[in-house]
Amino acid sequence: MQAVGSKQNFGQAKIKLPRVLGASTYNIYYKESGNKKYEHAIRTLPANVENYTIGFLKKGVAYSYAISALDRSGKEFSFSKPTNLLSR
């Protein structure tokens, strides 16, 4: 018997962060595809991070994410287009 919420019920997805001139940090917003609003966020990733793995996603579920760049004052100034991904 497998416990509810065990690691095997969750998937993950690796994404590549863009290089945006003037970015100090990045935010990643993500949601299940089909939902209108971004439900989750990973905030203030350092600008030197090239890849990030989002964990605790529902396995086999399609998600959409967007990335914003923040300047040194913390103001978001650049947004990526929404991108689809599938958790594994």
Q: Where are the domains of the chain?
A: 7-86
- This model's pTM is above 0.95: no
Beta-sheet pairing, 62-70 with 83-86: antiparallel
Q: Which amino acid is at 59?
A: K
User: 3-state SS string over 22-67?
Assistant: CCCEEEEEEEECCCCCCCEEEEEEECCCCEEEEEEEECCCEEEEEE
**Cα 9 from Cα 59, distance rounded (Å):** 7
Amino acid at 20: V
pLDDT digits (tens, 9 = 90+) for 9-66: 899 999 999 999 999 999 999 999 999 999 999 999 999 999 999 999 999 999 999 9
Task: Return the CATH number of the domain spanning residue range 7-86.
Answer: 2.60.40.10
Which pair of structure tokens corresponds to residue 28? 């990643």
* Residue position matching structure tokens 């203030």: 44
